[in-house]
Amino acid sequence: MAEMGVGIEDVVELEQQQPYRTGYHFQPPNNWMNDPNGPMYYKGVYHLFYQYNPRGPIWGNIAWAHSISYNLIDWDHVDIALSPTDPELDINGCFSGSTTLLQDDKLAILYTGKNCRNHQVQNLATPVNLSDPFLREWTKSSLNHMTPNDIDPTKFRDPTTAWLGPDNMWRTAIGAKMVTGKWVPLLYTSSDFKHWTRSTKTPFGLLLENNELVLECVDFFPVGINSSDGDNRYSNKDQYKNKFALKVSFQHNERECYVLGQYSPEKEEFKAESSDFNFRIDYGKFYASKSFYDPEKKRRVIWGWIMESESRADDIKKGWSGLMSFPRTIVLSKSGKQLVQWPIKEIEKLRGEEVSVHNKELYFGSIFEISGITPSQADVEVSFQIDVDELREAEPMDPSWVDPQVLCDEKNASVKGIFGPFGLKVLASEDLSEQTSIFFRIFKINDNEYKVVIGSDQSRSSLRDGLNKTTYGAFLDLDPRLEKITLRTLIDHSIVESFGGEGRSCITARVYPKLAINKAAHLYAFNYGTKSVKIFNLKAWSVNNAQFVTRREERNH
């Protein structure tokens, strides 16, 4: 099959018939996709594997699809890398896992398969031809079964990217449900990456010893305040001087949670800074994230699966379901307390002409339209300034407001306050009957301490019925007396990714407006607080379409 790009006529038709399909977020041409698996950079090419149903737009027949890129923006859909074919390994599905760069530039995939007994087993695959820049073909090995022993064999999944300790032993962590009913990440080791043994030590297990929630998609990686500190390749022996992040996905509430700590491979010990997974990678529609180290740009990059909020019937009608978040760099905050994420710099190559606003006062009830860009496909950066002398008049923080999502639901973008709500209304109709609001509020704990909350209000995002219109919220580690309140928002038809406080809290929303689509969408700044706020600086750009190309026709599986 010849190379097939998306032409102008195709784009126009998609916009008319598929208003929720995105322009610069990765998604395959059709069908179901979920978890990112094994993202990596290898010999000049970025590779992204992901969970995929080659037969339709609903979950099932799960394989590993494979796409490549030279810039993490434009993608070529290559082929299916792993299909469910072997009764003992994966006949009932090739599920999530990781890629690892081994010595001598060799590669390996570790993935979970569901065999003919519906047991979840860990499998190994390697490239057939390392000289093929697209790495199109992979072969499976039967040498690396990891014996469950005291594990529920139907609940044992998602091996992490492996790392090599100073003892030249490989390590990987896998989520498992013990026969006791508890879920923990177990550690397995290997000297040759083929034969694996469960470690007698459980460096992560103590954190979750009372956990009965389904735990999956574990990720474990070093972090520092510089992107280059995220290097966990075996050649970097200084990696253990950094902090490490242990990330887990909790299936019951679709949350991505993490804890920071110090890791010692000599002692096989992870000293977490907290006994609770208080921080989240993203506080919205974002799940099963996976990170990798990019040696070309010396940075750690993370992706997450953005699932649909429509019905299964809607997915069947449109012929696809699910897509990826925009790639983000992930580092340690300067305070060392949490992780910080930011869209990768490559998005700038897609930006159109810039519009800007400076020193614009937003008084009580103000709504200000930002024109001159394409609001349905945009990148917006804004910083808000407040009068510090008036802060002591802020609304008192109620001690019962411990859950920011509940707080933002009760005090959503329509509920007037003192300092806030203020922020952006995106994917809004001209009459504001449809709008998705990303907003801030400031509360007073005492005269010297304040709490900032960021919310993403989908309650009025669409006039359509039967949609999930959850309002999300997060506390922001920011002192409004010392710094401006900043917001970066990526808008892409049905996705709104927001980064508050320079990426200290991130919220992804999935919305399906009925009126505010394509050229009928509008973008506003607003303030419904009784105290005025100032747009200190706002920059916004239209974002052009990324290029998505199909290189090879998918084989009939």
Task: Assess if residue 73 is contained within a domain.
Answer: no
Task: Assess if residue 450 is contained within a domain.
Answer: yes
Task: Assess if residue 384 is contained within a domain.
Answer: yes
Helix (H) or strand (E) holding 264: strand 255-264
Q: Indicate if 415 and 327 belong to the same structural domain.
A: no
Residue 229 is part of a domain; what is its CATH number? 2.115.10.20
Tell me the CA end-to-end span of the chain in Å, nearest whole number: 17
Which of the following is catalytic: 10, 35, 150, 229? 35
- Residue 241 — pLDDT band, cuts 50, 70, 90? confident
Cβ distance 528 to 367 under 8 Å?
Answer: no
Residue 339 domain boundaries: 115-345
Q: Which of 484, 483, 511, 485 is nearest to 497 (CA)?
A: 511
Task: Assess if residue 498 is contained within a domain.
Answer: yes
Q: Indicate if 318 and 362 belong to the same structural domain.
A: no
Which of 293, 320, 345 corresponds to the end of one domain? 345
Q: Indicate if 473 and 532 belong to the same structural domain.
A: yes
Task: Assess if residue 192 is contained within a domain.
Answer: yes
Cβ distance 225 to 306 under 8 Å?
Answer: no
The pLDDT value given to residue 555: 37
The pLDDT value given to residue 551: 63
The pLDDT value given to residue 6: 43
Residue 410 is part of a domain; what is its CATH number? 2.60.120.560
E strands, 333-446, are 339-343, 351-362, 366-369, 377-385, 395-396, 422-428, 436-446
Segment among 6-20, 224-238, 258-272, 496-510 with least mean pLDDT = 6-20
Q: How many domains does the chain have?
A: 2
Task: Assess if residue 79 is contained within a domain.
Answer: no
- List, as one string, the DSSP characters of 489-523: EEEETTEEEEEETTTTEEEEEE---SSS-GGG-EE
Give the mean pLDDT of the chain.
92
Which of 305, 327, 345 corresponds to the end of one domain? 345
Q: Indicate if 317 and 452 belong to the same structural domain.
A: no
Which of 311, 328, 345 corresponds to the end of one domain? 345
Q: Indicate if 373 and 263 belong to the same structural domain.
A: no
The pLDDT value given to residue 126: 97
Task: Assess if residue 25 is contained within a domain.
Answer: no
Catalytic: 431?
no
| Residues 188-202: tens digit of each pLDDT | 999 999 999 999 888
| Residues 10-55: tens digit of each pLDDT | 444 445 579 999 999 999 999 999 999 999 999 999 999 999 999 9
The pLDDT value given to residue 2: 31
Q: Indicate if 406 and 359 belong to the same structural domain.
A: yes
